[in-house]
Structures are given as structure tokens and as C-alpha cells.
A = this chain, B = another copy of it.
Amino acid sequence: MVAKDMLCKRRIVAMWYQKVFSFIFFIYASFYFSETVGYEYEMKTFNVLLDHFSFALQQDTFPLRYAINDSYWKGNGGPIFFYTGNEGMIELFIENTGFMWEVAPDFDALIVFAEHRYYGKSLPFGNESFASPDKAGYLTSLQAIADFVDLIEFLKSNIRGAEKSPVIAMGGSYGGMLSAWFKIKYPHVIAGAIASSAPIWQFIGMNPCNTFAKTVTSDFTRESPECSNSIRHSWKAIDNVTATDEGKKWLSASWRLCENITDDNGGVYSLKNWLSEIYSDLAMMNFPYAAKFHHALPAYPIKVLCSYLNDSILPDRQLLESMFRAVSVYFNYTGDAECLNLDSSALYPDLGTDGWDYQTCTEVVQDMCQDGVDDMFVPYKFDFQGYSDSCYNQWGVRPSRTEGITLYGGRDISTASNIVFTNGLLDPWSGLGVLENVSETAVAFVMPDTPHHLDLRASNPADPASVRQVRQHLRHYMSRWIAEHKAASS
């Protein structure tokens, strides 16, 4: 099955971009699960239609999970804060959206976190949910949003005092995309939406294909040009050193690889892929405070990593020795790691990949590339046909080139209303998001010195001023939307 393996490999290259998008939540989550005492909520289920957009499967429903907290709710038409769950267990987002918990008391808000269909325990066909295209096919963003619409309708009809409540949707990353799209497609259902670090303009043809790679690179160059140059030169150094069996052995030993690089095991490829992934992860997670996830990280980890990379024109082996010390910040900051495992699934053992992998094979396809010149990565061109073949091979579906734009409008969202888009400019996804106001009431705020949706997280003394300010803006808009809603419905 050479053809199949080659196809899979081709797609894996294309997909580490999409993967990091998903991974980040799991990393956050494991950090939070270990660090926080946790929020209190009741977990419930609500039966949703498998297919909201035909009558062919009218009888088919499944239980969607949602968490609810009414500690602050006074039952008199106060707002509902509704988290539009993204690609994972809803618990992850409950624990990672401290902003929502922090502001709820000031608004007497009911707190709801809804799980996204086909993730967590909201699986329409249980373990068989991805077994065939006719089962997996109802995993789409719009079907998920329609679940949220019906859940909101149900809550408003069944919770005393909620009938006329304004609902504010919020989410980060893909969850932020869902919040924004929710307001765009169902403007009458929610009063406003907060879309944090939501790359809604990531679809094919919308950006220079190296936008993501360039931002990651600039996050490293910002610490020192020698840092990104060292990484840029390292790929060739890896090739040079691993050209001989002795070199492979040397690198495997120096880097303490769990599995030695050989001619047969694709180790060079895995190493480069692993490195690319962690650089992107760090660019998203370059937090101003130390965070312990699977591998503990210091505050501003890129700065720490770059402190080891101050000479990019070292001889190959010396450069790679520096590189190893540098990336040890990522995988072995505490010094506990026995060896370096290049299997990226080992990086994120909690990741349930099926759902997101399927979504990157249907709606969420980016045409990302790297050229090694304007960015520091191994040159790579996006090949839609190869990507599509691989998807078909795996899931029996082919990605749509245009669906995301056709459905949600691409850049032409001038009719959007009551959305706040927030982006940290250090976040590589920010270049694919909304950085300027798109209409009078769909506005954008940028945080120059901030990574991936820091603003939605619980406040921290180390938060930059820009994040604190954006949280004030969010409160302001939430107040305004609630007031507007009350004026309109009174």
C-alpha cells in the first residue's frame, strides 16, 4: 500500500498547520486541569437533530452535552453567556475561558457551555461516529451552530425568566469562528458575539499562503534575528549531518532521541516535522507567565529558547547542539524527559483527532505554504489534489475548495453586526483573522504583544496592558448589546 502511505504522508505535511490549531486547546487544558481548582457547573444533555437542513432524517437525534451554571443568574431576563464549544471535550473550554466566569457575576448572567457535535461525549453514533461517510457527514460548523440555536431556544423556553434574555456567544480559536459565524448566519438569535483569535479568513485563496509561517518566524526574529536564522539554517544542517550513518547516530545520541534515526524509519522527516510543530505551538503559547502543560514552559518561552540560538553560522554539528539545548526548553524544561519522542501524537496524548482531522478534510482547508526565505521553515507547497486524495482515502470525502467562503462570506461581511473580533498579533493565526472593523458594529481589537486568545483566559497579574484593555472593551460591548436587546424587546 505504498500509494496510500505516500498520500497520507503528503497530507500530514499539509496538516500540521491545522493540527496545531486544534492541539493548542488540549495543551491549555492539561495546564488548567492541573493548575486550577475548577469551576462548578451542572452537566446536562439536550437532544438535537442529526441533520438540521433536510427532512430526510427527521427522526434521528442524539444527546448534545452542555454545562450550565446559574450561581449568578437572578431569573429576571439577565443575559445568557453561551460558549460555542469547539473541537474537544467541553470541559476543556469550561476550564479555559476564565473571562466568562469572571464577568458573569457583574451581569447576573447564566453561564452555558455547549459541546460541539462529534467531540467529547456528543457523538451521534458513539464510537462509530467516524466509521463511514454517511455517519461522519453531519459534522459541519453550520450543523453545530444549528445545534446551538436549538439549545438556546430550548433554554429560553424552559428556564424561568430567560424567555427574553439576550444571549452573548463567545469562543476562542475555532470556537471564536463559530461565535462569529453564529452571529452572521443567525443574527436574530444572539445579541452579540465575541470571537477571540478566530481565523475566519483562513480559507483557500484568502491570504498569501505563507502568512502563518511568516508570523511564527517573526515571533522568533523579534527575539533575535540570529534565532530565526539558526532555525532556517538548521534544516540544511540536519540534512548534511544525517547524510551518513555516523551522522544519524551522532544526531540520535546528541538529541537523545527515543528512536534512532535510520534510513528506513523516516526519522529525518519526523524530526523536521516535530520541530515545525513546536515552533508554531510556541508562537501561539508565548504566554507572559510560566505554564505547566505536558511539558512545563517558562514565561515568554520563545525568548528563553532563542537565548540558546545566538549564532546562526555555526558549523552544522555545533548549530544542532545549540538547537537541541534550545528545543529542550519545550520538551524538557524540567529536565525530567528521558528521551525525545518525535511522534507528534506523543506530544499530545489527550488529543481526540478524528473530528478535527475530518473537518480539515471537508470545510476547514487552508492553502498554507513555506518558502524558507520569507519564513524559517522547510519549503513546502500546498497540493490540493494530493491533499484531497488523501482525505478521500481516509474518510471517503473530499475537501471543498470554497464552502467556507460561500457559506460565511469570506471578507465580504460588511453586513455583520454586533461582533467583537480580538486578536493577539503574536498569534500566527492573527494574520488569518479580522484585524480591522468590518462594519459599524462588527469591530476588531488587536493586542500587539499577545499570543492565541489570551483575552478569554482568566486574568493573571502578568497579563499585558493590551489584554486588560481588551477585556474592558469586551465588557463595554457586552453591556451595550444587552441594553440594545432590552430596548428592542421591551
Contact = CB atoms under 8 A, between A and B. Distances in A.
Interface of A: 51-58, 133-140, 142-143, 149-150, 153, 185-189, 362, 397-398, 402, 406, 409-410, 412-415, 417, 488
Contacts of A150: 406
B415 A153 contact: no
A195 B412 CA distance: 23
Nearest to A441: B415
A188 B413 contact: yes
B58 A415 contact: no
Nearest to A396: B58
Contacts of A413: 188
B414 A488 contact: yes
A402 B149 CA distance: 12
Contact of A54 (B53, B188, B189, B412): B53
A58 B397 contact: yes
Nearest to A183: B415
**From DSSP, what is the main secondary structure of chain A's interface residues?**
loop
A412 B133 contact: no
Contact of A53 (B143, B412, B414): B143
Nearest to A362: B55
List 4 A-B pairs, minimum CB-CB distance, nearest first.
Answer: A56-B137, A53-B53, A188-B409, A188-B412
17 contacts: A51-B54, A53-B53, A53-B140, A54-B137, A54-B143, A55-B140, A56-B134, A56-B136, A57-B134, A58-B398, A149-B406, A150-B406, A153-B406, A186-B409, A187-B409, A188-B410, A188-B412
A53 B55 contact: no
Contacts of A410: 188
A56 B406 contact: no
Nearest to A399: B55
B55 A133 contact: yes
Contacts of A189: 406
Contacts of A51: 53-54
Q: Which of A55, A135, A138, A398 has the most CB of B within 10 A?
A: A55
